[in-house]
Structure 1
């Protein structure tokens, strides 16, 4: 395989190695502040909810938009929020190697599964609000809510202040699915643009910014004590992990899940 062969989202192997090198440099420069012991780390990170200070949705979206061109979808959602909370709060946010979440690129390593921006959003909600095993369902429910919103929204929603591509060249599509393959595929068909085109790349950067914006709106409501989950777990309704539009893939032949 050529060293210059492009990844699924257009970055070269050299670009990815540079990103890894930057992460290692950040570690040695002290950007990742390690505790003195594993017990201390556990005491800091496994006590939920994590401290949270309200963020500006627009500023966060701008960070996510620009960050996409380095960390792509999942990594830039996590970075847009955690980088700000490192400054505002510190503590557990200093223990997260943010750039590691670049793996969510292209629906996880280019496989077109869950959109990386949604994976990043669920990472954020479960880190801040806490996982279900910690005695709260809020992290999972907020993650589920933002996934449903993503499926129904005409993406991209957010328009950056200084876009790299003319907004008139970025059409809107409704994915009806949290899958990268379907979301990107529907957009590419409507826009008649290739995966490596500047328009497709900027579209995904704007989708990522849209998710980061919406996520901060929900987190701010939670901080104010006004968040009421507007979501459910699809598996409870269908008896199998699923999305709400089964017919999109199965047509009229949707199989019934066994009851026992």
Structure 2
């Protein structure tokens, strides 16, 4: 073997060494970034907003929500479908966050038929991740939560079609609730479909509704994360003079009390 190196050999070997050095440097930087992220995620305070967030797949999230509905119902499943993924992808504060207590939101809070557990938990998630609007915090958690209620009220539910549905396998009746209330949403669907509250078909319907909410929420959170969410609040108490819905007369007839008008200045 000759001890002499040609110019081509020198250039070739230098190139290989240079590429090797770059790869080594890149690998080191990635390892350092991963280590620093791991340390950050282990120590992130739940009282520090916003919480760390990475974009999720809406379809994957919705499928998780559908399947978990049968374990922790509408309120718990939406939270679990998002936080369980972020616990694996991000770490804290999601990893130690308890999701099962939110089973209490089922049936509009312990079966009382108030706000549907799925949108109730969606509102909580938006405010956990983005933060509350108190003390100079971001307003976007509040806006996303409010608009989720409006979207839920006007969407032709359920929207999401799961893999291997447990009922309604050929087709499913869809209804517009015109309300975020559980008893209105479920009641209208039961009337349109003819299925009772304890039927597999009604349970499948509510599991799909929760999955639809999880899908929509992830879409909105991803847009917020990219700085692309810029919607205005669709409905608020300022439009009616009282904290209320937009269609009271549908159920309450002519006996709806009118809020007092603002006092005139003397």
Query: TM-score band, normalised by the shorter chain?
Result: 0.7 to 0.9
Count of residues paired in the alignment: 220
C-alpha RMSD of matched pairs (Å):
1.7
Distance in 2 (CA, whole Å) between partners of 1:222 and 1:185 is: 33
| Alpha carbons 1:141, 1:233 under 8 Å: kept | no
1:33-75 Cα distance to aligned partner (Å, 9 max, x none): xxxxxxx98x701111111100000000000000000010010
The match for 1:122 is: 123
The match for 1:70 is: 71
Distance in 2 (CA, whole Å) between partners of 1:200 and 1:157 is: 15
Distance in 2 (CA, whole Å) between partners of 1:56 and 1:225 is: 17
Distance in 2 (CA, whole Å) between partners of 1:194 and 1:166 is: 14
Q: Secondary structure at the match of 1:230?
A: coil
1:256 aligns with 2:263: no
Q: Which has the larger radius of gyration?
A: 2
The residue correspondences of 1:140-151 to structure 2 (distance < 5 A) are 140-151=142-153
**What TM-score, normalized to structure 1?**
0.81
Structure 1 residue 180, shift from structure 2 partner: 0.2
Out of 172, 195, 200, the residue aligned to residue 197 of structure 2 is 195
Out of 180, 183, 191, the residue aligned to residue 181 of structure 1 is 183
The match for 1:31 is: none
**What TM-score, normalized to structure 2?**
0.79
Query: 73-82 vs 248-257, which deviates more?
Result: 248-257
| Alpha carbons 1:169, 1:199 under 8 Å: kept | no
Structure 1 residue 232, shift from structure 2 partner: 4.2
Structure 1: state its 5+ residue gaps.
1-39
| Alpha carbons 1:234, 1:244 under 8 Å: kept | no
The residue correspondences of 1:1-260 to structure 2 (distance < 5 A) are 44-134=45-135, 135-258=137-260, 259-260=262-263
Distance in 2 (CA, whole Å) between partners of 1:168 and 1:129 is: 39
